[in-house]
Structure 1
């Protein structure tokens, strides 16, 4: 199938909130496909020697403290995201700017060198992409972290083996991040942990 000639289905918004929308896409045969779309996010994998930086933060979806990769939203609202999509803007550039901003705000680090590892897609019925960056070049920001109001975040460096232990113990609930860590980044960065 020639993807260059593939026509996107007609789309109609049936619900809109501050951070997401439900759309109906009419297929060529008349069937209606429903999906939820929200602006993309970024996640950063800070590596310092054999250590990885994780945040410990309260998350309502787990009703407790969860270990997470630092990150956040690329766009603060649905309207800004929709404008970027319609203008055919390169969302990768916006994601990189967001990664730099979130590194400063969430963990108090100024990044200089980043590597886009992957864009993790949520699935067919939920369009919510996460851009994952490996960060090896960073310095402490003079004004430290600047979390948003209501965010309860602390940061901690974990040795790579401790990250594996945390995953096995169920202390990380964002499974896309776990998949990127264990499937792409850690085997490359810490191969000794995965030797048979």
Structure 2
């Protein structure tokens, strides 16, 4: 069965970082979707360990263990322009270079796209996951944005698994990418 993605949509709400669109269906129903710019996450590996961050998150009301990363765009207009131009992967890779320096003080070389994880049918918010194995430390260290409380931490594969099992990671798409793609490829046999 062939399904056209070219259905006319109309914007019903627009904010700084997102929009709500309505897409009419052939049977008369209206499909509603929230769309926001994508984010990036980095799986940074060196010497058999993985770099994560301990980060205060408003949505959890506490400290969460996360893969380093951030927004690809700071506003919706920039996202819409890149989306129309079809240059999302290039923009995501540029964000990896920027966010790695800001969050963990690393200058990244040759990040490798692992996967793009989608949020679901009614929320369009993709996360681009990159493997980073080549980097140097930035001379001026990490430069987090105002208000960000981020502490880098290097963990062994077993420590990452223990953190996941104890519920210290609340971004479940990242947990899925780690358990389903990263651990089998980078740390075979560590899923015990």
Normalising TM by the smaller chain, what interval? over 0.9
Q: Residue 23 of structure 2 is aligned with which of 7, 17, 25? A: 25
1:28 deviates by: 2.2
Unaligned runs of 5+ in 2: none
1:12-42 residue CA offsets vs partner (Å, 9 max, x unmatched): 1111111111111111222100010000000
Q: Residue 78 of structure 2 is aligned with which of 77, 80, 92? A: 80
Query: Matched residue pairs, number?
Result: 192
Q: Secondary structure at the match of 1:94?
A: helix
Query: In structure 2, what is the equivalent of residue 190 of structure 1?
Result: 187
Query: In structure 2, what is the equivalent of residue 93 of structure 1?
Result: 90
Query: In structure 2, what is the equivalent of residue 11 of structure 1?
Result: 9
Alignment RMSD: 1.1
Of 77-86 and 32-41, the range deviating more from structure 2: 77-86
1:177 matched to 2:150? The reply is no
Q: Distance in 1 between matches of 2:5 and 2:89?
A: 23
Query: In structure 2, what is the equivalent of residue 120 of structure 1?
Result: 117
Q: Residue 102 of structure 1 is aligned with which of 99, 102, 105? A: 99
What are the within-5 Å matches in structure 2 for residues 32-51 of structure 1? Answer: 32-51=30-49
Q: Secondary structure at the match of 1:192?
A: coil
1:114 deviates by: 1.3
Query: Structure 1 residues 95, 34: closer, same or farther in 2, change over 3 A?
Result: same
1:7 deviates by: 4.4
Query: In structure 2, what is the equivalent of residue 70 of structure 1?
Result: 68
Q: Distance in 1 between matches of 2:5 and 2:27?
A: 13
Q: Which 4+ stretches in 1 moved above 6 angstroms?
A: none
1:61-103 residue CA offsets vs partner (Å, 9 max, x unmatched): 11100000000011111111112222x3321011000011100
Query: In structure 2, what is the equivalent of residue 148 of structure 1?
Result: 145
Query: In structure 2, what is the equivalent of residue 164 of structure 1?
Result: 161
